[in-house]
């Protein structure tokens, strides 16, 4: 799918908030973790948080949940799809890192996060979820294969 000027403006002007929820402490209210402008930038931050906190290095599911609220569209975006794909993608982005002394994007593979977020952005514009990304991660034989599948996903939307 070729992006129109309207799509490009929509993407670059998108105002978003990343919302955090602690699922361990049910009394803990949801909070805004970060806010900004630019849909791809917001999706980079969403994927970084999801992969670092929700997907644990040992493959277990953590207690943190995140979603991106796209203000202009009044739409919530979350990471959904194959858990095995999320585990593999976490490994490619963060390795075995368990602690971040900087922002999540800075301690991860920013290039891969950007490619994932850009593909997710195209899927969102085509009214699809992140599921295809995590299926691609699950079925890829290597990171290089995954990156090639991301390109195909982006071209097909």
pLDDT tens track of the chain, all 157 residues?
445 556 777 799 999 999 999 999 888 899 999 999 999 999 999 999 999 999 999 999 999 999 999 999 999 999 999 999 999 999 999 998 787 777 899 999 999 999 999 999 999 999 999 999 999 999 999 999 999 999 999 888 7
Looking at residue 5, what is its pLDDT?
A: 53
The conformational region for residue 29 under phi > 0 = left, psi -120 to 50 = alpha, else beta, is beta
Range of the domain at 63: 5-156
Looking at residue 1, what is its pLDDT?
A: 47
Q: pTM (2 decimals)?
A: 0.92
What count of other Cβ atoms lies within 10 Å of the Cβ of residue 138?
A: 17
Give the total number of structural domains in the chain.
Answer: 1
Looking at residue 3, what is its pLDDT?
A: 54
């Amino acid at each position: 799918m070729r992006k129109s000027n309207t799509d490009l403006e929509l993407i670059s002007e998108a105002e978003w908030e990343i919302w955090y929820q602690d699922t361990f402490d049910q009394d803990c209210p949801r909070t805004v973790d970060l806010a900004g402008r630019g849909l791809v930038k917001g999706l980079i931050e969403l994927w970084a948080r999801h992969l670092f906190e929700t997907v644990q290095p040992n493959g277990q599911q953590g207690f943190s949940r995140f979603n991106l609220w796209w203000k202009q569209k009044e739409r919530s975006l979350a990471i959904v799809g194959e858990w095995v794909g999320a585990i593999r993608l976490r490994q490619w982005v963060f390795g075995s890192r368990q602690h971040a002394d900087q922002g999540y994007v800075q301690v991860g593979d920013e290039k891969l996060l950007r490619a994932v977020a850009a593909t997710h952005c195209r899927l969102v514009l085509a009214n699809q979820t992140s599921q295809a990304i995590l299926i691609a991660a699950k079925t890829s034989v290597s990171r290089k294969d995954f990156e090639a599948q991301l390109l195909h996903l982006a071209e097909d939307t």
